[in-house]
Chain A
């Protein structure tokens, strides 16, 4: 690859204060079975009329996207790639509920329209008038990683100079109980929501939070394959999807114990898009040059010189590895 892939900006809406990094030093508590995201004032991004029409997921996707683009100084991204596990599940639920309980009459087109998973990517495309590459992934907790991987390939093929990659999942009370029944959220984990947008650029002079050095995704790796993958990395710390749930945490047992293992899920909760928060949090640490104690189980800050490896394991089978490094010379 010719140019380094830089992370120009990264924005979140989650159970932590939206569109800022206050969580690094004074986090909101994330606890209980189910916690909704803290929404920003959407008026700075969306007109009142549009705001009434759009569901939560779409409003948040627009807010994090427009905010990341403004921060990175890019108006029309070359590529827009989004991950979502359930899409606009609140609209899906309304449509499904009406269909099942009231029959096949009087169903609302807006609810159906917003139920299609690609509405976030296309809404961002429409809003920024971006005619470039546009795609959407829906692979449970691997949705963000899949979207990032696609953008990574587009960069390597030389097709794009920048990309807006995001992951967006909202959660209704009813579907939060389904998430638990299906085992997508486990005992001790808080079922939450996430909207994350990350702006990437190849080369260029714009200031960056960090660089994306490597990205690998492997389904059902053998222990030998895991060992080989890990031998290629020497990070300051590993950003894991550990949550405190024993089964979930056992999926990270292949990691070396002498490298600090960080956890973002206790701070942000669990959703299909939560791995995007792990990526976002890592980029924030590299920008700040330190890993705050809140990610390290309260065991004090860690200096950040070599980089952070973001590891996401989904259902014990899908393994993704994103290596983020500090920008040289800082």
Chain B
């Protein structure tokens, strides 16, 4: 046995289209309930695109968090606060405990929801100037972190749809090197007209419920949400007397180096990221019991990712599913949202189904439609790939009986 490279996960929190906390999300996963539907909260004219919205207005979230109305917030920061609060509570961390902890957030849209609302006022008036300060990614992360404690290091990673996954990797690196005992890491991203229209301009949005890995797939459905995890050293968790909910046993980051918005046909970046993650965890492909694929539902991603998985796993390909047909593509937050889904799967012994799948694609994997796995889940792989070929993969492992 080599050196144990595991980093403990001692708490996690999630808010997305299929639930406002872990209990609700688990229930939706087990009953195969999709959160994708007609747009309710985002003020867009593009009602033809179904989306996966968090079923709370900004005001609902402010009131749930006890934030006075009129306070400068963004939807991304509010969802982030909801998820962090749940994660800290599970990890039993107080405000004082966070003095020596770090906070690593993955986001790309930042405060764009408010900027697109108040942009004209930014230029021509001054009544909304407070929101200019909330526009960038970093201020969004500070808003979330500052609500809970000091945190000795706060930073934001912005690698598009792999942002939260890379945030978790930096967090784990910091723990492995002893730079911090506790790092709260994840991502948050709300829907905006800005990126809904951006994805539309790239012609990769499906007008129907998205169908990852299906022959008839026609693009993705955007979603929104946040998930944060408490990553902790073994010593710190033992000292505090908290048990891990899962282990982050390995991870890899690689660059496809192919195109700004398309994946290479052979999925080189995805292949390298998964290979690195397995090597880092000291595992073989046959040790992986489930893969939560990036699986956006775009023709390009699903072929590319299929090729990468088939090349790496060959005959030992475990059940694979994309949960984006339930949650929508939560972009920057997807890495941590799907990591929490993987943790729920490990803890409850099920393999999430690839909702809305009907017909196998010609040149790809056949996704999992069976909730009960043939063998117990010990190690699962979680993929998150971003524009520009920023590909990341993580191995999450069962932490044992409580």
Contact = CB atoms under 8 A, between A and B. Distances in A.
Interface of A: 80, 84-87, 95-97, 99-101, 103-104, 107-109, 112-113, 115-119, 121-123, 125-126, 128-140, 142-143, 146, 149-150, 153-154, 156-157, 174, 177-178, 181-184, 217-221, 272, 318
A96 B197 contact: no
A178 B131 CA distance: 10
A15 B59 CA distance: 44
Nearest to B110: A138
B57 interface: no
Contacts of A146: 155-156
A99 B176 contact: no
Contacts of B108: 116-117
Contacts of B41: none
A96 B195 CA distance: 10
Nearest to A320: B153
B122 interface: yes
Contacts of B67: none
Contacts of B66: none
Given A137-B156, A182-B133, A142 B253 contact: no
B136 A140 contact: yes
A137 B135 CA distance: 15
A97 B116 CA distance: 9
B150 interface: yes
B141 interface: yes
Given A137-B157, A150-B170, A157-B176, A122 B136 contact: no
B268 A131 contact: yes
A207 to B, nearest CB: 28
Contacts of A115: 194, 198
Chain B residues touching A, range:
35 or more
B260 A122 contact: yes
B179 to A, nearest CB: 7
Interface stretch (B212-220, B321-329, B348-356, B383-391): B383-391
B44 interface: yes
A108 B166 CA distance: 28
B154 A318 contact: yes
Contacts of B123: 174, 177
14 contacts: A96-B119, A99-B193, A101-B120, A112-B201, A113-B261, A116-B108, A118-B160, A121-B390, A131-B272, A132-B255, A138-B157, A139-B141, A178-B132, A220-B150
A178 B173 contact: no
B248 interface: no
Contacts of B173: 150, 153-154, 157
Contacts of B129: 181-182
B311 interface: no
Interface string B228-272: 000000000000000000000000011111111100000011001
Given A116-B108, A116-B160, A99 B194 contact: yes
A145 to B, nearest CB: 9
A218 B153 contact: yes
Q: Which one of A101, A146, A149 has the highest number of Cβ atoms from chain B below 10 Å of its Cβ?
A: A146
B299 interface: no
A109 to B, nearest CB: 4
Contacts of B200: 104, 107
Nearest to A128: B257
Given A103-B45, A118-B160, A134-B255, A96 B115 contact: yes
A117 B137 contact: yes
B260 A217 contact: no
Contacts of A182: 129, 132-133, 135
Contacts of B254: 131-134
Contacts of A121: 159, 255, 388, 390
B138 A136 contact: no
B150 A219 contact: yes
B133 A139 contact: no
Interface string B85-113: 00000000000000000000000101000
Given A134-B254, A153-B173, A181-B126, A86 B136 contact: yes
B122 A178 contact: yes
Contacts of B158: 84, 87, 116-118, 136-138
A116 B387 contact: yes
B255 A130 contact: yes
A154 B172 CA distance: 12
B200 to A, nearest CB: 8
A135 B133 contact: no
B259 A85 contact: no
Contacts of A154: 173
Contacts of B179: 153
Interface string B35-59: 0000000001110000000000000
